[in-house]
Amino acid sequence: MAETTQQETSGQPEGRREGREGRGPHGGREGRGHHGDRREGGGRGERGGERGRFEGPPDIDIEKLISDPLYLDNQAHGVVSRMRDMDSGTKSQLRRLYNAVRRAVRAPESERQQQFVMLRARLAYTIARHSLRSLDSLEKLLLQVTRKNDARGYERFRDLFEAIIAYNE
């Protein structure tokens, strides 16, 4: 009876140890060190890789956005795809931002740039507050649009945001 108790007791911890040992080489502290360079945590390691890929290349080009409707559509699809993979942002957060974009586009021309500067600050806050890292490219684009200070750029930014809302439904 004592042997059975020792086997059951020692069998359970060994099984647990084996599980930890099995994770160790793949996702233990050593593995997390590699993922930790990109993002935190073991379970987030795969997402961290996606975030690493996202932060580089997919900057949105304002000139292409203005001139090519298909480019706008492709960028909207890309942002929504990254949102679904990376973020837990709600549709209501996006709608609030979109409404702010619409108000900024409708602002008088003399106030429009200031409205977009403040919109960028609001977008940056929302991205940070709700961990919406997939919207980083929109923040960079908003900076380009604000610097260019062109009515068509503002309208295309609004169109892009509208497409993101539509594809996210």
pLDDT class of 14 with cuts at 50, 70, 90: very low
C-beta of residue 89 within 8 angstroms of C-beta of residue 132: yes
Residue 42 and residue 11 in one domain: yes
CA–CA separation, 31 and 104 (whole Å)? 46
Residue 34 and residue 84 in one domain: no
C-beta of residue 94 within 8 angstroms of C-beta of residue 100: no
C-beta of residue 147 within 8 angstroms of C-beta of residue 109: no
Show Cβ contacts of residue 105 under 8 Å, excluding neighbours closer than 6 positions: 112, 154, 155, 157, 158
Residue 39 and residue 78 in one domain: no
Query: 120 or 58, which is more confident?
Result: 120
Residue 42 and residue 70 in one domain: no
Number of domains in the chain: 2
Res 26 pLDDT > 90:
no
Query: 5 or 141, which is more confident?
Result: 141
CA dist list (Å): 86 to 33, 110, 160: 20, 37, 19
| pLDDT given for residue 91 in this prediction | 83
Query: 36 or 88, which is more confident?
Result: 88
Gap between the terminal Cα atoms of the chain: 61
| pLDDT given for residue 3 in this prediction | 52
Residue 102 and residue 40 in one domain: no
Residue 33 and residue 65 in one domain: no
Res 30 pLDDT > 90:
no
Residue 96 and residue 41 in one domain: no
User: What percent of the chain stands above pLDDT 70?
Assistant: 64
Cα 63 off chain centre by: 23
Residue 95 and residue 138 in one domain: yes
pLDDT class of 169 with cuts at 50, 70, 90: confident
Q: Which residue has the tokens 């919109």?
A: 119
Dihedral sign, Cα of residue 110, residue 104, residue 82, residue 69 = negative
Residue 83 and residue 97 in one domain: yes
The whole-number average pLDDT for the span 74-101 is: 86
CA–CA separation, 155 and 90 (whole Å)? 24
Res 48 pLDDT > 70:
no
- Domain stops at, among 30, 57, 84: 57
Residue 105 and residue 70 in one domain: yes
Domain region containing 93: 59-169
| pLDDT given for residue 52 in this prediction | 42
Query: 59 or 13, which is more confident?
Result: 59
Residue closest to 162 by CA, chosen among 60, 80, 63, 81: 80
